[in-house]
Amino acid sequence: MAQKTAKKDPISSPLADQDREITGKVLQGTLLDLIDLHLVAKQAHWNVVGRLFHDVHLHLDELVTTARGFADDVAERAAAIGISPDGRAATVAEGSGVPKFESDWRSDRDVVAAIVATLAELIRRLRARIDETDKTDLVTQDLLIGIAAELEKSHWMWQAQLAE
């Protein structure tokens, strides 16, 4: 009869087990939100129409690039603390907190409003995660603070497009 042995994680963690678990959940949730943000922005990019099409289309590409870069940073931080990141489509669909973005053609103004709402929700979730990592991992907290700063700047720029 074969003996079962406990699976040993291939990556050790500098964090205590409980801190690693809490921080890992924060990073995984952030990863899912950022992957979904880049997918939403790409969907909007392909379907935006209207007088401001060109500007919104290009601004969405910037958001896609930003979200993809941050997702990679977050996934690599998770791996660095011994957490296997999961960015599979089914996992993103099940776990993202990004608001749903409707399919089909969308006016430039509707797209901008949807992106403003999406960024606002993602920032709200990110700020709560920053608080969660205050006692578990200051390196992760620093990463999240940097991401929040950039997303808040982006949120402002998207909001400015709605001003009359």
Q: How far is CA 137 from CA 26, 113, 152, in A?
A: 11, 34, 22
Q: Count how many Cα atoms sit within 13 Å of the Cα of residue 52 in the half-sphere of its side chain.
A: 14
What's the maximum distance between 2 C-alpha atoms anywhere in the chain?
Answer: 75
What does DSSP assign to residue 145?
H
21-66: per-residue pLDDT in tens?
Answer: 999 999 999 999 999 999 999 999 999 999 999 999 999 999 999 9
pLDDT level of residue 164 (50, 70, 90 thresholds): confident
Contacts of 126 (CB under 8 A, 6+ apart): 30, 33, 144, 147, 148, 151
pLDDT at 6 over 90: no
State the average pLDDT for the chain: 95
- The reported pLDDT for the residue numbered 3 is 55
Inter-CA distances, 105 with 48, 49, 52, 70, 162, Å: 6, 7, 14, 27, 19
Chain segment 21-32, per-residue pLDDT in tens: 999 999 999 999
Read off the pLDDT band of 9 (50, 70, 90): confident
Specify whether the CB–CB gap between 146 and 65 falls below 8 A: no
Whole-angstrom Cα distance, residue 148 to residue 143?
9
Nearest to 29 by CA among 121, 164, 114: 121
